[in-house]
Amino acid sequence: MSPRFDAIGLVASDMAASVTFYRRLGFAFPEGAEDAPHAEAELPGGLRLLLDTEETVRSFLPGWQPPAGGGRASLALRCDSPSEVDSVYETLVDAGHHGELKPWDAFWGQRYAVVLDPDGNGVDLFAPLPGAGQ
């Protein structure tokens, strides 16, 4: 018996805002997920992104409180090209989400940017730069 990585779980303070944010990034949450206490989107490769409301978490962990300050988790999303990093970043920022790090050409050979989801979790956007060999 060996545990295997299956899902990434995030706690959402506003399920509708979180579902909307992740749908903009291409996550396929089912219709009605905005109003659900728990929502799942299947990811390529069989992993899943799980969202639970704070109330849901408190129902099985009485006394649980969300961590202060955010920034304790991040997701890294590979884009098809450096220009897609820029366009996805702009789309999210134009929709009112906080751009934590504007797109830049990182010294490790990637176009890289960071946007925060509605709960302050980092969403890293990246793509290999031409000639970087990634």
User: Which neighbouring-strand residues pair with 110?
Assistant: 128
Pair of tokens at residue 51: 């969202």
Return the CATH number at 121.
3.10.180.10
Chain length of the chain: 134
Phi-psi region of 46 (alpha: psi -120 to 50; beta: other; left: phi over 0): left
What pLDDT score does 61 carry? Answer: 85
- 68 inside domain: no
* DSSP 3-state of 5: coil
What the block records as the tokens of 85 is 């990093």
Q: Find out whether 27 and 41 touch, Cβ atoms under 8 Å.
A: yes
Q: pLDDT class for 4, splitting at 50, 70, 90? A: confident
β-strands 7-12, 48-53: how paired? Answer: parallel
46 is in which domain, residue-wise? 7-60
DSSP state of 45: G
Task: Report the predicted TM-score, pTM, of the whole model to 2 decimal places.
Answer: 0.85
Higher pLDDT, 3 or 24: 24
Burial class (CB in 10 A: 0-12, 13-18, 19+), 43: middle
Number of domains, the chain: 2
| 51 lies in the same domain as 20 | yes
Residue 70 has pLDDT above 80, yes or no: no
Sign, Cα dihedral of 67, 100, 113, 52: positive
Q: Does residue 51 fall inside a structural domain?
A: yes
Q: Select the highest-mean-pLDDT range: 41-45, 82-86, 119-123.
A: 82-86
**Could you tell me if residue 134 is inside a domain?**
no
52 domain-assigned? yes
Regarding whether 84 and 40 lie in a shared domain, the answer is no
Residue 42 lies in a domain: yes
Assigned token pair, 65: 């409180």
